Amino acid sequence: MLNDEKQYHLQLKKGDVGKYVLLPGDPGRCEPIAELFDNPVHVASNREYNTYTGYLDGVKVSVTSTGIGCPSAAIALEELVRVGADTFIRVGTSGHIQPDSISGELAIITAAIRDEGTSKHYMPIEFPAVADVDLVAAIKRAAIKNGARYRLGITQSKDSFYGQHEPERMGVAADLINRWKAWEIGGAICSEMEAAAIFVIASMLRVRAGGIMAVHAKDPMPPLDLLLKTSIDSLREIIAEDKANGRAVD
């Protein structure tokens, strides 16, 4: 569903971005990511959305921030697809769920618990939020090449940051605490606020989406250099695979 008009929220038009896009939440992370591109150019900035475009291995790539949460991430994905993007990797930080998690390890997301409201406006709750298998494999290869400690698994996508960190003061405290225990028992590895909507909408729009998170298990926040380098190498991996398979990359 390509659209030649400038998109209302992202202020982007067709040709402004590549097919391959990294999606951090924080607008401030876009410039450090773009510095790892060849010939990066700042394209647009509006509200929580900040976009740079450059090249990797001769292929146009971009980074666009989504802001915090599934509502704004959904808008970003919708408008990026309208201007020609079709491959997305969510890049960010997350809380840990498994007790043995180590701060700074990478969580490669295979699917998301739809513990948020946005995706319910797209598909019934029974529909799974699943990452693209080729992207999961590409991200795993990139993590291995960078010597990263990583694990593959399911994320919880939630709507309330403080509902996770201070559940006891909420009116639904018992439910929040019990559900968190269920995610742990079920083997979910991390908790963030965007992946579920990105995965569901990507499935509907017939585009590809995956995710990689730096897990924050204790203070202070771990350095993000390895996360950013691995996200860049993930794009290189999927671009090389697409070229080998005859898939259009421009």
3 pLDDT higher than 80: no
17 CB contacts (<8 Å, ≥6 apart)?
43, 51, 53, 60, 62, 64, 80, 83, 84, 85
The answer to whether the predicted template modeling score (pTM) of the entire model surpasses 0.75 is yes
Would the CA dihedral through 229, 93, 136, 40 be positive or negative? negative
User: Average pLDDT of 162-177?
Assistant: 95
Tokens of 107: 């969580």
Per the prediction, the chain carries an average pLDDT of 96
Third-level CATH fold of 20-242: Rossmann fold (3.40.50)
Q: What are 211-221's pLDDT values in tens digits? A: 999 999 876 77
2 pLDDT higher than 80: no
Task: Measure the CA–CA gap between 83 and 145, rounded to whole angstroms.
Answer: 32
Confidence grade of residue 178 (pLDDT, cut at 50, 70, 90): very high
* Angle (CA) 122 45 235, round 5°: 65
Cα 211 to Cα 23, 162, 174, 178, distances in angstroms:
9, 23, 30, 26
User: Parallel, antiparallel, or unpaired for β 190-192 and 87-96?
Assistant: antiparallel
Where along the chain do its domains lie? 20-242
Closest CA to 21 of 243, 232, 248: 232
Q: What are 61-77's pLDDT values in tens digits? A: 999 999 999 999 999 99
- pLDDT for the residue 249: 84
Confidence grade of residue 112 (pLDDT, cut at 50, 70, 90): very high
Report how far Cα 228 is from the mean position of its chain's Cα atoms: 12
CB 215 within 8 A of CB 102: yes
Helices (H), the chain: 30-34, 70-82, 133-145, 161-165, 173-186, 195-205, 225-244
Confidence grade of residue 4 (pLDDT, cut at 50, 70, 90): confident
Confidence grade of residue 1 (pLDDT, cut at 50, 70, 90): low
Identity at 34, one-letter amino acid code: A
